[in-house]
Amino acid sequence: MNGLYIPMTVVHVEKSYDELTDAENKKVQYNCVAKNIITFALNLDVFFKVSQYNSAKEMWDILKVTHEGTTYVKRDWITQVIWEGGSKHQDPKVSA
What residue type is 64 in one-letter code?
K
Reported as a single tens digit per residue, the pLDDT across 70-88 is: 677 677 767 777 776 655 5
9-62 pLDDT per residue, tens: 677 778 787 888 899 889 889 999 999 999 998 888 888 888 888 899 999 888
For 95, the enclosing helix (H) or strand (E) is: none
C-alpha closest to that of 66 among 50, 82, 83: 50
Helix, strand and coil percent figures for the chain, each rounded to 5: 55, 0, 45
